[in-house]
Amino acid sequence: MIMIKGPVDHVVVVGAGLSGLSAALHLLGAGRRVTVVERDTLPGGRAGLRAEGGYRIDTGPTVLTMPDLVEDAFAAVGDTMADRLELIQLDPAYRARFADGSQLDVHTDGAAMEAAVEEFAGARQAVGYRRLRKWLERLYQVQMRRFIDANFDSPLQLLHPDLARLAALGGFGRLDARIGRFVSDERLRRVFSFQALYAGVPPARALAAYAVIAYMDTVAGVYFPRGGMHALPTAMADAAAEAGGEFRYGQTVTRLERSGDRITAVVTDRERIPCDAVVLTPDLPVSYRLLGHAPRRPLPLRHSPSAVILHAGTDRTWPDLAHHTISFGAAWKSTFRQLTRTGELMSDPSLLITRPTATDPSLAPPGKHLHYILAPCPNTTIGPGVREWKELGPRYRDELLGWLERREMPGLSAAIEREGLVTPIDWTAQEHAAGTPFAVAHTFPQTGPFRPRNLVRGTANAVLAGCGTTPGVGVPTVLISGKLAAQRITGPPAAPARRTRGTAA
């Protein structure tokens, strides 16, 4: 593994999102002095918080899987997740509701899910689910250490026996077709393949290897931190501060000072911070701009679809909604074509509805409820641009409410007391390329060793982290990204580092 050479005693991490906090914890655990610079007044980055009127609204991801990766970050400084964070496992992980009126609760317990599938679609589909679950487990075991939790220096690193194992499992086929070998019911195929949208690729074109995301969701389990998703970056920042990390909130990095190919200081709108190395976590165009160099690629980067999000604080709720409910429209292939090719808004949308107050009522005032509705939409490269969204946003909000009232949430409009609408305008304002918070899509030329690297030629002591670089999009992979960035500076640990809380790095 290529590592940064020269002095690396003091590292500045730009961005206190999940990748930056993960990097900070792993760097501190390896004995480095760490300063984290964050433009917002709170940690979190994309996993932000909006508090108003007694509501605590998570502005970023709502699905947390693979808590062992969170534990790994805390363990780097001798801490434990249990001391910092209370995680609640959700059961069901999701509730899937379909246009024909049917409904399936997705359980992560194998026996419970097999029984649910048999009742939902028959004994033959239940047998198929049992085989699918074993396949997902094997797929995860083959991929995790070799292809996900790994720094790539060359595509030649793929030449390993695990590559043959992945091929034997069908990992280089198409996701939808591979899922169809186990379960033929179209509704079940959707439940185990919609996760491809997280990777920015339709299930019919995504590599079957990306079923590993379905493993994380439907086998490993879905969790929710008490206090909301923002409790996770808060706990990580607290652990880093107690381990000696310094935080500079409310400061925007304006430039990087250089001497030859080395960065010597990070300059913000308020101060100059000398450093030996830098971890950059902003979206790729921002990081490249600061570095003064963008790597050449044979083809332009393709970005994932974006999303419109409606945050609704209401005076009532709909008990048929689980913590997470996926409301599938009747359309499927045409939906992905609109989102990734034609740039149209979904004509028959599939929506993610999250009701966090079903698990933690303290996130809203007494007797009130919080709902988060996510509608995927095209990014601004292929779909409506920022100017168009200024007029389109309010109209699309009304369309969303209409769909929700006809499906799962009758009377929603009248029940809303507080609301917030997030569109590609807002993602663009946060400097997310193509107006999407989901970064670079996981097409084959943008996956593994072909994804934008976390090292950039021309700069000897800077490392990238976050969803735009390796290994990719999603809370688990972003946490890994921070660890991989730290390892470029410290090297992989021979054994888990242990520290005593409060000691200086």
Max Cα distance, the chain (Å): 67
Q: Where are the domains of the chain?
A: 8-86+226-298+442-488, 127-219, 302-432
Alpha helices in 293-385 (DSSP H): 333-337
Arithmetic mean of pLDDT over the chain: 94
- Reading the block at residue 241, the tokens are 């501060």
- Identify the band that residue 500 occupies on the pLDDT scale cut at 50, 70 and 90: very low
Among 126-135, 158-167, 433-442, the minimum mean pLDDT is found in: 158-167
Tens of pLDDT, residues 114-148: 999 999 999 999 999 999 999 999 999 999 887 88
Q: Is the pLDDT of residue 497 over 70?
A: no
- Reading the block at residue 125, the tokens are 């589909």
Q: What is the pTM of this model?
A: 0.94
Please tell me the CATH code under which domain 8-86+226-298+442-488 is placed: 3.50.50.60
Q: Is the pLDDT of residue 499 over 80?
A: no
Q: Is the pLDDT of residue 505 over 50?
A: no
- Identify the band that residue 412 occupies on the pLDDT scale cut at 50, 70 and 90: very high
β-bridge partners, 370: 313
User: Cα dihedral angle (452, 457, 460, 466), rounded to 10 degrees?
Assistant: -10
How far apart CA 289 and CA 434 sit, in angstroms, is: 16
Q: Is the pLDDT of residue 480 over 50?
A: yes
260 φ, ψ (degrees, to nearest 5): 65, -125
Tens of pLDDT, residues 243-294: 999 999 999 999 999 999 999 999 999 999 999 999 999 999 999 999 998 8
Q: Which pLDDT score, from 0 to 100, does residue 186 have?
A: 96
3-class SS of residue 233? helix
What does the angle CA 438 – CA 405 – CA 320 come to, to the nearest 5 degrees?
A: 85
Tell me the residue type at 105: D
CB contact at 8 A, 290 and 280: yes
The mean pLDDT of 35-47, rounded to a whole number, is 97
Q: If you search the block for the tokens 């900070």, which residue do you land on?
A: 24
- Identify the band that residue 494 occupies on the pLDDT scale cut at 50, 70 and 90: low
The mean pLDDT of 342-369, rounded to a whole number, is 97
How far apart CA 315 and CA 368 sit, in angstroms, is: 5
How far apart CA 180 and CA 203 sit, in angstroms, is: 11
How far apart CA 499 and CA 505 sit, in angstroms, is: 9
How far apart CA 62 and CA 230 sit, in angstroms, is: 9
Q: Which pLDDT score, from 0 to 100, does residue 297 have?
A: 84
Best CA proximity match to 316, nearest among 355, 373, 350, 352 = 355
Q: Is the dihedral of CA 491, 494, 496, 502 positive or negative?
A: negative
Please tell me the CATH code under which domain 302-432 is placed: 3.30.519
- Reading the block at residue 105, the tokens are 């609760």
Walk across the sheet containing 462-464 and list its strands.
Answer: 246-249, 33-38, 10-14, 277-280, 462-464
Tens of pLDDT, residues 287-300: 999 999 888 887 88
How far apart CA 329 and CA 327 sit, in angstroms, is: 7
β-bridge partners, 279: 13, 463
Q: Is the pLDDT of residue 495 over 90?
A: no
Q: Which pLDDT score, from 0 to 100, does residue 238 have?
A: 98
> pLDDT higher for 93 or 447?
93
> What is the H or E stretch that residue 314 is in?
strand 306-314
How far apart CA 355 and CA 62 sit, in angstroms, is: 10
3-class SS of residue 436? coil
CB contact at 8 A, 392 and 375: no
Q: Is the pLDDT of residue 388 over 50?
A: yes
DSSP E strand boundaries for 328-389: 351-354, 369-377
pLDDT above 90 covers a percentage of the chain that reads 85
What are the helix and strand counts (H, E) for the chain?
16, 20
> pLDDT higher for 64 or 504?
64
